[in-house]
Amino acid sequence: MSIQKTKLLYEGKAKKIWETNDSELLISEFKDSLTAFNGEKKSQEAGKGALNNKISAELFDYLNKKGIPTHYIKMIDDTNMLHKRAQVIRIEVIVRNIAAGSLSRSLGIKEGTKLPFTLVEFDYKNDDLGDPKLNDQHCLILELVQDEAELDYLRYMARKINYFLQSFYQELNLKLVDFKLEFGRDKDGNIILIDELSPDNFRLWDANTNEKMDKDRFRQGLGGLAEAYTEVLNRIKNR
């Protein structure tokens, strides 16, 4: 059976999610739109959606081969990805190896400071509230997970994924500064990695120059975002 889009299920800042003629499969359509600071800064960057789709496909494929359960099935074309349907867990899992962004601003840790251990944080996936920070008790009060064991599992998976991706990016001469992960439940209730794995959600710095190769180029008005994403993709393809 040829998989076809049937109904727009959801449109977010960076993707449209489509239902298909298979009830267990969805298609993510990657957009060229750019947003930052909870949607306060907006723009368009031609080709960004295709770059994010291709980079995400490469990383999902890599993690699948490492035994990480994900929603990814295949890249359909430049901007569309086929994946399993999953019930989204409304927790953004933030993994930090080097101080940057909100961690530097909120705690006064100088950007670029290597952390003594990998920090895993939770944010509430809620645009209306500005994605606030969560502790374990918040997660339980909001019934975002079933119990504390699931929170422990999210942390475990985040650190495991970080271990694999740090090694992956080291081969590309890139530092994995920090990144956001999202998880969901498949049809059998298993927790799997979902969403995307792109420079929109990852901070990546060149290992030699510390040049920023991620969405901070848009956040900070540095320019050259598509060029940076293209360089990341080329390094992945040539590894």
Q: Which pLDDT belongs to residue 88?
A: 98
- Whether 87-224 and 5-84 are alike in CATH topology: the answer is no
Under CATH, domain 87-224 is a member of which superfamily? ATP-grasp fold, B domain (3.30.470.20)
Apex CA 146: angle with CA 145 and CA 152, to 5°?
Answer: 70
Smallest CA-to-CA distance from 91 within 183, 193, 194 is with: 183
Low-confidence ranges of the chain (pLDDT < 70): none
How do strand 80-84 and strand 25-30 relate by DSSP bridges? antiparallel
User: Do residues 124 and 66 lie in contact, with contact meaning Cβ atoms separated by under 8 Å?
Assistant: no
What pLDDT, in 10s, does the model give residues 77-110? Answer: 999 999 999 999 999 999 999 999 999 999 999 9
What pLDDT is recorded for position 179? 98
Architecture of the 5-84 domain: 2-Layer Sandwich (3.30)
**What is the amino acid identity at position 213?**
M
Question: What distance lies between CA 170 and its chain's CA centroid?
Answer: 18
Distance set, CA 124 to CA 49, 112, 130, 175, 207 (Å): 25, 26, 8, 26, 31
Model pTM score: 0.96
What is the C-alpha to C-alpha distance for residues 138 and 145, in angstroms, rounded to an integer? 10
143: which residues sit within 8 A by CB, 6+ positions away? none
pLDDT of residue 40: 80
Listed by start position, the domains of the chain span: 5-84, 87-224
> For the chain, where are the alpha helices, taking DSSP H only?
48-65, 101-107, 136-141, 148-171, 216-219, 225-237
